[in-house]
Amino acid sequence: MSKYSVGDYVMHESAGVCRVESIDVLALQGRGSEKSYYRLKPVYHSGGEITTPVDDKNHRVRDVKPSNEMEDILHNVDKLGVIREKNERARQEKIKEQVALFDPAPLAGVVKSAYLRKQKRLAAGKKTMSSDERVLETVGRKLFEEMAFSMHTKPDDVEEQFFMELDQL
């Protein structure tokens, strides 16, 4: 039995917010391996489709978080955790751990951490770290798209508001 129905909106771990286009029985590993799969279409990225098992044990698909939860994150950025690891390898491991939680609050903490370190380096006249730029691009994109979808606004508007809140800390 499927948790989601055709027309539902879900959050996919790598594609972001998606619409369930169909639920199909496919034999992707040959005859006798028939399983039910969601066919997902990303909301913010045209031209792609994702096929993921309905009974996915890796939990690659979850509900889009409600707007009140997203607004709470946005208006309480000062309370979000920050990754303070000095060792870059350990820092990247902590980031991976937070991203793997597949939840907006830890993602927001990762984005906050990368943004604050970037701002600190720029203020000191140093170059930004490519790892921070990558985090802001990939993790930030997923976070801001889900927030925007949930709050019925644009990802750029949410991103701008998020960073304005951080700049006031």
Percent of the chain with pLDDT over 70: 99
Look at residue 135 and tell me whether its pLDDT is greater than 80: yes
CATH 1.20.58 for domain 67-167: yes
Tokens at 40, concatenated: 């997902």
- Indicate the helix (H) or strand (E) that contains 22: strand 16-26
Comparing CA positions, the residue from 45, 50, 150 lying closest to residue 104 is 150
Report the pLDDT value the prediction gives residue 151, as an integer from 0 to 100.
97
Report the pLDDT value the prediction gives residue 28, as an integer from 0 to 100.
72
Task: Pick one of 1.20.120, 1.20.1260, 2.40.10, 1.10.20 as the CATH number of 9-63.
Answer: 2.40.10
Report the pLDDT value the prediction gives residue 29, as an integer from 0 to 100.
73
Report the pLDDT value the prediction gives residue 1, as an integer from 0 to 100.
63
Q: What are the tens digits of pLDDT across the range 62-92? A: 999 999 999 999 999 999 999 999 899 999 9
Q: What are the tens digits of pLDDT across the range 18-33? A: 999 999 998 877 777 7
CATH 2.40.10 boundaries in the chain: 9-63
60 — pLDDT class (breaks 50, 70, 90): confident
50 — pLDDT class (breaks 50, 70, 90): very high
CATH 1.20.58 boundaries in the chain: 67-167
Report the pLDDT value the prediction gives residue 169, as an integer from 0 to 100.
82
* Exposure b/e, 61-72, CB count within 10 A at least 16 = b: beebbeeeebee
Report the pLDDT value the prediction gives residue 108, as an integer from 0 to 100.
97
Q: What are the tens digits of pLDDT across the range 103-115? A: 999 999 999 999 9
- Global pTM reads 0.90
